[in-house]
């Protein structure tokens, strides 16, 4: 479409206003149909978020774009429309929440990343052992426990209901957040139903008969390398990234090479017939990782005391300050704030926020409603309980 240089700015804006008026009418019409979709989903129990359908809508409409220069921007607009539609559906359906006294793992399919011996596996096992509603018999051979190669695969399994519950690392006290986990819980239709704060103790482990002076190659997760950077700086070793610490231990065991070692959980020693070469090598003794317990159901415990949300604000001066002021206004203790880049929107960000409270509390309800009004996107990831378990039993 050519640009008419004879038009002045006032005339151009008048034309934009005219188009905007038509857009408002069309958006109202679209949302009226979305309301019918919400009613259908409420009656049938279907999930609000349908990833396949969303991709189909965007792809189908992008094929109609004539000016390919505009394709990227029209895709952004359509994704925003889809997000608004989901929020409207949530409003019409209401929050479908299942309140329970404590998490019930009976007959549930539970997942984690890595292999037996990983920290996530240890958290899962201890969480089950500490649960009154779970039978400890044959726990290690439980056929309802599944492992996955990556956090992406794990979250997708929860999202698609292949498994019911999963253990997902979210943040380490030394090196910070596990970024792919934060992005995944924002993109997928999952709920945070619990949190476990697990103490991490890294160890240098090799095959039986090996010594530190034999070692040339270290295998572990990149987070472990960062958490043990001071120890590693004293040695001229090649660091090989693995998707999981326990996978590194399994690899070293299978290779049977005295030049190879891993950084892993002490329990991998027995599991993979290895030998500890040096204990507690992390930079800080007080080294903790937060793990989320995620689910495809919105389960809220009676004693839930922490809420996680994802939100974004308009790109204008003071918008974030106005949003954060809401927590002060309603006397809510915000304990975590992180920014992450928004997909398809360079230099725009969404905010991941943790704060203390229970969704039943009136102050929390009022604050969330005000956040919804002040932001252009709000997703409540979960209202959950923080477990302080006696681990490493």
The DSSP code sequence of 215-235 is --EEEE-HHHHHHTHHHHTTS
Give the CA distances from residue 66 to residues 55, 62, 69, 167, 251, in Å, rounded to whole numbers and listed in that order: 19, 9, 9, 46, 52
What pLDDT, on the 0 to 100 scale, is given for residue 391?
A: 45
What pLDDT, on the 0 to 100 scale, is given for residue 4?
A: 57
Burial profile 41-69: b = 16 or more Cβ within 10 angstroms, e = fewer: beeeeeebbbeeebeebbeeeeeeeeeee
pLDDT tens, residue by residue, 315-334: 778 888 999 999 999 999 99
For 20, the token pair is 């905007």
What pLDDT, on the 0 to 100 scale, is given for residue 133?
A: 64
pLDDT confidence tier of residue 389, bands split at 50, 70 and 90: low
pLDDT tens, residue by residue, 258-279: 999 999 999 999 999 999 999 9
Q: What is the mean pLDDT of residues 287-300?
A: 92
What pLDDT, on the 0 to 100 scale, is given for residue 91?
A: 73
Q: What is the mean pLDDT of residues 106-125?
A: 92
pLDDT confidence tier of residue 95, bands split at 50, 70 and 90: low
Place of tokens 């240890």: 122
pTM of the full predicted structure? 0.79
pLDDT confidence tier of residue 80, bands split at 50, 70 and 90: confident
What pLDDT, on the 0 to 100 scale, is given for residue 137?
A: 62
H/E element holding 239? strand 238-241
- Report the candidate in 207, 247, 210, 245 with the shortest Cα–Cα distance to residue 226: 245
Give the CA distances from residue 293 to residues 191, 198, 221, 297, 381, in Å, rounded to whole numbers and listed in that order: 9, 12, 21, 11, 12
- Report the candidate in 290, 242, 235 with the shortest Cα–Cα distance to residue 263: 242
Place of tokens 């309603």: 330
Place of tokens 């009976």: 106
Pairing of strands 145-148, 306-312: unpaired
Mean pLDDT of the chain: 88
- The answer to whether the CB of 154 falls within 8 A of the CB of 112 is yes
The residue that leads in pLDDT, 384 or 95, is 384
What pLDDT, on the 0 to 100 scale, is given for residue 130?
A: 79
Place of tokens 């969480």: 127
For 367, the token pair is 């604050």
On the CB side of 11, CA atoms within 13 Å amount to: 6
Place of tokens 């792919």: 180
Q: Among residues of the chain, what percentage have pLDDT more than 90?
A: 56
Residue 3 above 60 pLDDT? no
pLDDT tens, residue by residue, 183-234: 888 888 889 999 999 999 999 999 999 999 999 999 999 999 999 999 999 9
Torsions phi, psi for 266 (to 5 deg) = -55, -30
Residue 135 above 60 pLDDT? yes
pLDDT tens, residue by residue, 34-65: 888 888 887 787 777 777 888 898 899 999 99
Alpha-helical (H) ranges within the chain are 9-44, 51-62, 71-93, 119-129, 151-159, 179-187, 222-227, 229-232, 245-255, 268-271, 319-329, 362-374
pLDDT tens, residue by residue, 161-192: 999 999 999 998 888 888 788 888 888 888 99
Burial class (CB in 10 A: 0-12, 13-18, 19+), 29: exposed
Q: Among residues of the chain, what percentage have pLDDT more than 70?
A: 93
What pLDDT, on the 0 to 100 scale, is given for residue 344?
A: 67
- The answer to whether the CB of 302 falls within 8 A of the CB of 101 is yes
Report the C-alpha gap between 191 and 393 in whole angstroms: 28
For 368, the token pair is 């969330």
């Amino acid at each position: 479409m050519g640009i008419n240089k004879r038009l002045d700015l006032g005339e151009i804006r008048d034309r934009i206003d005219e188009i905007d008026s038509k857009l408002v009418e069309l958006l109202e019409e679209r949302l009226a149909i979305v309301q019918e979709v919400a009613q259908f989903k409420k009656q049938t129990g279907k999930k609000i978020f349908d990833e396949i359908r969303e991709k189909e809508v965007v792809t189908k409409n992008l094929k109609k774009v004539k000016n390919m220069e505009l394709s990227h921007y029209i895709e952004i607009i359509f994704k925003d429309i889809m997000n608004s539609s989901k929020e409207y559906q949530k409003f019409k359906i209401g929050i479908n929440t299942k309140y329970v006294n404590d998490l019930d793992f009976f007959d549930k399919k539970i997942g984690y990343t890595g292999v037996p011996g990983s920290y996530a596996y240890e958290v899962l096992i201890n969480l089950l052992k500490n649960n009154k509603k779970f039978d400890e018999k044959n726990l290690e051979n439980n056929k309802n426990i599944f492992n996955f190669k990556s956090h992406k695969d794990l979250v997708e399994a929860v999202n698609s209901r292949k498994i019911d519950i999963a253990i997902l690392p979210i943040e380490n006290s030394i090196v910070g957040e596990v970024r792919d986990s934060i992005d995944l819980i924002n993109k997928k239709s999952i709920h945070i139903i619990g949190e476990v704060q697990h103490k991490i103790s890294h160890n240098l482990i090799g095959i039986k008969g090996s010594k530190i002076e034999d070692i040339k190659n270290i295998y572990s997760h990149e987070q472990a390398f960062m958490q043990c950077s001071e120890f590693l700086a004293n040695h001229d070793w090649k660091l090989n990234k693995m998707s999981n610490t326990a996978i590194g231990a399994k690899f070293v065991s299978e290779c049977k090479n005295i030049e190879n070692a891993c950084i892993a959980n002490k329990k991998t020693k027995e599991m993979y017939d290895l030998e500890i070469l040096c204990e507690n090598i992390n930079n800080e003794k007080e080294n903790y990782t937060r793990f989320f317990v995620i689910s495809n159901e919105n389960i809220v415990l009676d004693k839930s005391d922490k809420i996680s949300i994802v939100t974004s604000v308009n790109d204008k001066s003071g918008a974030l300050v106005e949003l954060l002021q809401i927590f002060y206004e309603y006397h809510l203790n915000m304990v975590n704030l992180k920014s992450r880049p928004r997909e398809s929107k360079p230099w725009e960000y969404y905010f991941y926020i943790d704060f203390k409270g229970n969704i039943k509390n009136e102050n929390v309800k009022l604050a969330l409603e005000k956040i919804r009004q002040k932001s252009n996107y709000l997703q409540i990831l979960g209202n959950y309980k923080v477990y302080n378990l006696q681990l490493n039993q």
